[in-house]
Every structure is written in C-alpha cells, then in structure tokens.
A and B are shown apart, each in its own frame.
Chain A
C-alpha cells in the first residue's frame, strides 16, 4: 500500500523557504504520494515554487486572511483537519515546524518523531533521530495504525531539485474553527545581502574569541570574500556581538555546509552538534587544547586577528 504524505510548506508569504525542499527529500523517502500544503493569505508564488519541486504530486493551498501569519494556534487545527486523508504529515524542523507540528500532533492524538535524520525503513515505519545534543542516535518505530508525524532535520537531506513539470495546484477549504486568542504582532529581522545561513555552502562563524560587536567585522569581511554566510556561537550571541538568528548549535541552527570555519570558538558539544554534518571544518583558535580541534579537519593555532587578514589576502 502506498502512503499518502502531507508536507507543510514553510514560507514568508512571498518565497518558499529552502527547508521545504529538504523536508521534501525526506518525504519522498517514504515512497508514497506527496502533497505539499501552503497555508497563506495568498499562496500564489509560494505554491508555484512548491509545484516545481521534484516528487510533488500536488500542491494544496489554503488561503484565508488568518493564515497570513505563522501562528501555531491558528494553523494546527487546519493541519489536523487536513491530515485525515493522509498516512503521514511532515514539516521541516525549523522554528516554524517545531512550533506548529506538535500542536497538530496533539490534536490528532499521535506521537511526533522530532528531527528525522533518515527514513530507516518506510515499510517498517522506522526513523532515525538524534537525542542528547546528538550524542546518541536512536531508531524509533511509529506503531501500526498511528499516523506518522515528524519534523525533518533539514541538514540531513539534500534539497529536492526542481522537476521537469509542475504539479497541479488545488485550492482547498478546511473546516476548522480558528481561535482568536493569539495575535501576531511582527517580525524584527536583520535584512542581509549575505547568503542564508541554513542553506549556504560556506559558513564562517565567530565565537566569544572575536571579542566584540565591532570586531565581528573581521568575520563578515572574510565571509564576504568567500561568499559565505555568517554564523556564531551562543556565547557570541549572548554577548550581543550578533543577533540570535545567527546562532549555530543544539538550540540554534543545525547546518551542513560544504565548508565551515569556526573562528574563536572553543567547540562545546552544544555548538559542535550543529555542524556535525558539515563537509570540511576548519578551526582557528589561539588555544591549542581547544576541543574544536578534535573534530576539525584542519586546525590553525594562533590569534584570529592576525590570521584572518592573512587568510583573506591569501584567498585573493
């Protein structure tokens, strides 16, 4: 029996977030028919982008003004109502998916598999996920007769590419009573011309060793030279050097760039868990004993303020 899979699209009202294509790669691994659902005030461009992705059988749009903001309390009852016709419901394990999907799962009375890294065996309903900040990897089975509900650890999957033809887009209306107890006020985000941290092939991160907000310009400068996104350790964020959305790690973003440079970062497990799937890790730290060197492919011991300008120069 082939599974019917519902995948929740993540978007900002205008563009489809790349995490959706990555979660789709996981959904395709279930070996069934995948429908992507877009909740929006107006789904146009986002639905079109989703319809292009390889492996999407259909895009559903649920358009109503209340869906103009990503409020979990508003979206969850609609997801739960739509889920009726599906064997599995997936969402990316971003802050959006983490917020909304457990709420839908509870309404459905089903357990959720958080942070799926791998579909071990779709027929056996088994999935692999990390626990203990990635220090243990567990295989779990969703019991027979229970809907599969899961968030997808996007760093574990390559984003599905665009397919050769566009999937049909169907507007649906969902009968669900929506609460009025939650109100979206707004989003403060740093407008940046730099690549997106979660999907960039190269990332340069700075830690407490960078020392100040002002000093962080050496990190930005190297990143610009490399066309890289910029990340940070929690210590750097807490100290106010950079905003919270740049945090990499257990409680920040889990990323898998081809090249990761950790600059003035000691390498605490909570940070390292966010970069385990990176291709090549480079560490620059003045302390030769820093734990980051234990997982780095290449290490340089020295003062970052001396080494970074040299590195920029050498890259040319």
Chain B
C-alpha cells in the first residue's frame, strides 16, 4: 500500500507572528519557515506504517512555490521515499482549492491512505483533509491520536471534545493527525545528505487542470486585542480581596 502525506510550508511555530502595519497580511520577510507540525506527525505516522510492513511507499506532497522544496526535503530526510511539488506560484491556495488539487494527485497515485495534519498553523482552517475525503468519496478519520491499519480497514481513536472516540473506516481513507498521535523523529545529518538524492517531482498546477473554486477574500488583517499585564500580588489574601472586589468570588 502507498501512503500519500501532505506537507505544508508554514511560519515556524516558535515565531511570534506579526501583522504588517498596513494590514495586508503577516510579516514573512526573514521569518523562519518549517513543516506544519501536524504534517510532521503525519509523515512520522506514515513512516511507522511502512516500517511495520503495512505500507510499501511513502509519498509526500506539497502545493506552493519552489520554496516548498525545503519542507519536502525535510520530509524526505525523515524517511519518505519521494516527493511531489505542485508548483502554484502566487496562487491563493485555500483549503477547497488544495483539496481539489490533492484529489488530482490521489487519482494519479492511487494511495491506500492519505494522511494530512488536522490543521495548518498558519490559517488554522482545519478543512483540507475533510474536503479531500468528501471529493474523493472516501471515509475520513479526523483528529487521530491512534491509528491501526488492519487489512483493508483502519481503526482510529479520535480526540473529540467529549473524550476519545473510536471509528473504523474502510480503505482508502483520509486520516488527519492530532498532536498525540506520535512524536516525530529527529532528522540526522546523513539523512539530509541522502534526501538530496531522493526523487522530487514538480508538476505545474496548470497541468493538473484543477477547477479553481470560489474563495474567501481576505480584506484586512489586524493584531489581536492585547490583554495587558495586570498586577503582581504579594500573597493569597491580596488575591482573594482583589477577586472579591472584581465580583468574581
């Protein structure tokens, strides 16, 4: 079985994101970019399934500019077998557009499993995996914290608001990862060298004949209202009287 994993290039999660003064977006100049953390977990899970003999090949895919090669190389260094970059320069690649594009790759590659992160930490949309599953007409198991593949079905434990939900889906299916699914491995220096020789195919978005869906128009970006630093108190009685005076105790 082949596993297709999506890898999105996003601002690194340690960066304190700044909104540009003119409200046109967030500052990306000179900002560290990384693999979306949930996608890194997706890659790790696919690798573990290959190492367990469940999968035979792990293909990673990204949609975007040439810069996305860096994140695909990271995934290759982790151990993925090959990479596909759908070149989409200066395209506003919103989730539905991405899902339609990924569907084309799915039709080409015929994976038994697609694993995506549950959300990308830039737009925080939490949509693409679900949308791909819908368009593909296949099951979805979102927010997975445990995944067991058994023949032609997969049993997934999902992190939901009420606790842990278990569902069983027939393959092929789309799984989206939650943080506790696994802990991604560290990439070692020799692996980075090896990754340079692994195949990375580029496909122009135009060549996939994806029908561009309607998208949301982003009007203005603003920094969030700031909570200001409050008071440091001396002791518990001071806290209790402060809370009482504010009417919350």
Interface on A for B, CB 8 Å cutoff? 12, 71-73, 76, 94-96, 98-100, 102-107, 109-115, 126, 130-143, 145-146, 179, 181-190, 198, 202, 234, 237-238, 243-245, 250-251, 253, 258-259, 269-270, 276, 279-282, 288, 293-301, 307, 310-311, 314-315
Contacts and interface: CB of A to CB of B under 8 A. Distances in A.
Contacts of A253: 161
Given A96-B160, A185-B168, A114 B127 contact: yes
Interface SS, A side: mixed
B184 interface: no
Nearest to A184: B167
A307 B24 CA distance: 46
Interface in B151-169: 155, 158-169
A315 B96 contact: no
Name, among B16, B139, B165, B214, the residue most crowded by chain A CB atoms within 10 Å (CB to CB).
Answer: B165
Nearest to B166: A185
A133 B121 contact: yes
Given A102-B130, A182-B167, A315-B249, A132 B96 contact: no
A136 B223 contact: yes
B124 A115 contact: yes
Interface SS, B side: mixed
A182 to B, nearest CB: 4
Contacts of B96: 105-106, 109-112
Interface residues of B, number: 81
B219 A141 contact: yes
A298 B242 contact: yes
B216 A141 contact: yes
Contacts of B237: 314
Contacts of B215: 111, 143
Interface in B121-137: 121-128, 130-135, 137
Interface in B190-249: 213-225, 227, 229-233, 235-237, 239-240, 242-243, 246, 248-249
A107 B132 CA distance: 10
B142 to A, nearest CB: 5
B142 A98 contact: yes
B140 A103 contact: yes
Contacts of B94: 111
Contacts of A98: 126, 142-143
A184 B139 CA distance: 12
A188 B230 contact: no
B44 to A, nearest CB: 15
B55 interface: no
A244 B248 CA distance: 28
A252 B200 CA distance: 35
B243 A102 contact: no
A251 B219 contact: no
Contact of A131 (B123, B143, B158, B167): B123
Given A95-B143, A185-B168, A187-B165, 13 more contacts: A103-B130, A103-B134, A107-B134, A131-B26, A133-B121, A136-B224, A143-B214, A184-B167, A253-B161, A280-B246, A282-B239, A282-B243, A314-B236
Name, among A95, A188, A280, the residue most crowded by chain B CB atoms within 10 Å (CB to CB).
Answer: A95
A250 B214 contact: no
